[in-house]
Amino acid sequence: MKVLLVNGSPDERGCVFTAMKEISNALENAGIATEIFPIGNQSVRGCNGCWSCKELKKCIYDDLVNDFALKFEKCDGLVIGSPVYFASANGSVISFLDRLFFSTPFSKTMKVGAAIVNARRGGCSSTFDVLNKYFTISGMPIAASQYWNSVHGYKPEDTLKDEEGLQTMRVLGQNMAFLIKSIALGKEKYGLPEKEAKVFTDFIR
């Protein structure tokens, strides 16, 4: 079992990384392998809506999105972390996720998702909401913690002082491990939920 953690901060070892290490340690203590991917310090172009991925089965722009997709298909859980930029996520994170979720043809049903956010002061809740939308449109259960998944700090040493935030990260890791293991047992005994053919409704009349 494995969880991938996407670090959307341009500071590869900054506040988001500090929070992710708490999650990673909790997951690994529960027997779940982890891998952290820094993408916030890279230039990631956005989706241009060309739909080429529906034929190619991958994004037409062959970069870190396609590389990550190969790992995403095999993993059991995904954590997305971002700093707060104007009450939303880093633009590189949004571009990465738009292309990743749109271009990948494999089912994400029952992969466990979690989002974490960092701010010096405000904007965490709105950023958290934006990131969770990627999971809820993809059949991915969201792991919860004891509070909304946010930490505060301008530098890593500030984040280390946010004891409640770090505890929230640890509890998230523990809950995520439990949910992943529970889903694995459910798959073994009951299988995945039966899927209906997807229906699309236009509201243009």
On the question of pLDDT at 205 being above 80, the answer is no
Q: Is residue 178 part of a domain?
A: yes
Cβ contact 174:30 at 8 Å: yes
**pLDDT tens-digit profile of 42-89?**
889 999 999 999 999 999 999 999 999 999 999 999 999 999 999 999
Q: What is the largest CA-CA distance in the chain?
A: 56
**pLDDT tens-digit profile of 123-139?**
999 999 999 999 999 99
Q: Is residue 25 part of a domain?
A: yes
Per the structure, the count of domains in the chain is 1
**pLDDT tens-digit profile of 152-195?**
999 999 999 999 999 999 999 999 999 999 999 999 999 988 88
Residue whose tokens read 């889903």: 183
Q: Is residue 171 part of a domain?
A: yes
Its domain, for residue 21, covers 2-190
Rounded CA separation 21/40 (Å): 16
Q: Is residue 89 part of a domain?
A: yes
CATH code, domain with 18: 3.40.50.360
Rounded CA separation 175/146 (Å): 10
Work out the percent of the chain whose per-residue pLDDT is above 90: 92
Q: Is residue 203 part of a domain?
A: no
Nearest CA among 1, 21, 5, 14 for reference residue 170:
21
Residue whose tokens read 């954590």: 79
Burial class of residue 37, CB neighbours in 10 A (0-12, 13-18, 19+): middle
